[in-house]
Chains A and B, each alone.
Chain A
Amino acid sequence: MNPYYNAEDLKKFGNISEYDKPLAEKFFSWYGDVFAEGALTAREKSLIALAVSHAVQCPYCIDAYSEDTMAKGCTEEQMMEAVHVAAAIRGGASLVHATQMMNKVKELTM
């Protein structure tokens, strides 16, 4: 069995309370509140979560929020656009550092 990233482990997420119950309870309670309907809809929050899942490259989160966004009535197009937003920010975050590189190059060159 592959010791890393087993899909079955997602079901065991709740077991983190085994080693520290009070902190786990705080986390899950906060997590539930975060995703409740608010100024943003639960559907919008789910799409954000899907995008962030890709940005942090968490396969458990990608599985969970691919299903959650579909269940909340999102289309494949909307889901892919959300992932592109994550990718654009990640790509942009690398590229914007090019200004640093350019600054340095200009500082060093005649």
Chain B
Amino acid sequence: MKSLLAQQHILSNTSEQMQLLEDIVEGASIPSFKEKLYMLGFSPLRASGIEIFQVNVGKMCNQTCKHCHVDAGPDRKEIMTKGTMELCLSALKNSTIGTVDLTGGAPELNPNFRWFVEECVKLGKKVIDRCNLTIIYANKKYHDLPEFFAAHRVEVVSSLPFYNADRTDRQRGEGVFDISVKALQRLNSIGYGMKGSGLVLNLVYNPTGAFLSSSQEVLAAQFRKVLVEEFGIHFNNLYAITNMPISRFLEFLLRSGNYESYMEKLVNAFNPAAVSGVMCRNTISIGWDGYLYDCDFNQMLDLKISNGNPMHVRDFNTQFLNDREIILSQHCYGCTAGAGSSCGGEVVKVA
């Protein structure tokens, strides 16, 4: 499967996506997210400091998942340069930010991935790698990634949308489940996800279609039961993350006739209690080219943080960024639905 960009699909244009998201406000009974927050007294939504420095090191990926908000794939060539990574390290050096969260694409495909992890660790930062699992077996040179992760105490966060091959492969590609199982077993074998090892292995669940996630706790129990019984796999936490109505998932929603009803589901599930915990409030997102965003989703919609001009990591200004106003649009309903959704899963406990 090719990326939307390689297909020259109209939705590879971010302004087309923004237009679609805005049109639904005018055409249907979907209230504006900004207005919704205003009515509830949450406006303007501001950052509450920066705890997580999330770096998208490139859009290249060995997979082409059907729901990918990055439109990542083997045909994407956008990769963060070592120079931009050095700018990230300078920004980190002068800040009290504790966590560096690496995402992509497949972050490990960036030729300077390991160097960047090592440098972040030298600065005393905790590093999270959003690993798609199959990369470990994509090429011999990635086979020792689990040992590399362990040596640097990297927290591994891996997508596994379901505990069987059928639904996983339908979202992530033929054969992905089997390789993911093999990779998880490998990570377990060196201590990841195992009690007392201190090596953290978290899984990410994304619904495999136009429905919202149920309780993270209920899903985690089910995943744990099946993965242990059938494959002997252990993990620490399962994060349930809502699919955002952007990029490839938006394309799926439109193609399957689910767009309007999915937006209605997100709006009907709006939970005011989730607003204060949304990830954009404690995260800064850095694009492959160094520009700054409130989150990885805003990054993919090209909604840059601006301080008069679009902000670049070379101009990293903690004082301004700590209290910046978050840029909002209709996709933000995805993070406030139900128990809320962030890169760390639910943001509130649901009774």
The interface of chain A, by Cβ under 8 A from chain B, is 11, 41-43, 67-68, 70-73, 75-76
Contact = CB atoms under 8 A, between A and B. Distances in A.
B219 interface: yes
A72 B211 CA distance: 10
Interface of B: 162-164, 166-167, 207, 209, 211-215, 218-219, 222-223, 264
Contact of B219 (A11, A72, A75): A72
A70 B212 CA distance: 9
A67 B211 contact: yes
Contacts of B219: 72-73
B166 A43 contact: no
Contacts of B209: 70
B211 A42 contact: no
B211 A70 contact: yes
B164 A71 contact: no
Nearest to A42: B218
A61 to B, nearest CB: 16
Q: Which of B211, B214, B219, B223 has the most chain A CB atoms inside 10 A of its CB?
A: B214
Contact of B223 (A68, A71, A73): A73
A75 B211 contact: no
Contact of B214 (A11, A71, A75, A76): A71
12 contacts: A11-B264, A43-B214, A43-B222, A67-B211, A68-B214, A71-B207, A71-B212, A72-B215, A72-B218, A72-B219, A73-B214, A75-B166
A41 B222 CA distance: 11
Contact of A41 (B163, B211, B218): B218
Contacts of B162: 73
| Shortest 7 CB-CB contacts between residues of A and residues of B | A71-B214, A73-B222, A72-B214, A73-B219, A67-B211, A71-B211, A70-B211
Contacts of B218: 41-43, 72-73
B294 to A, nearest CB: 28
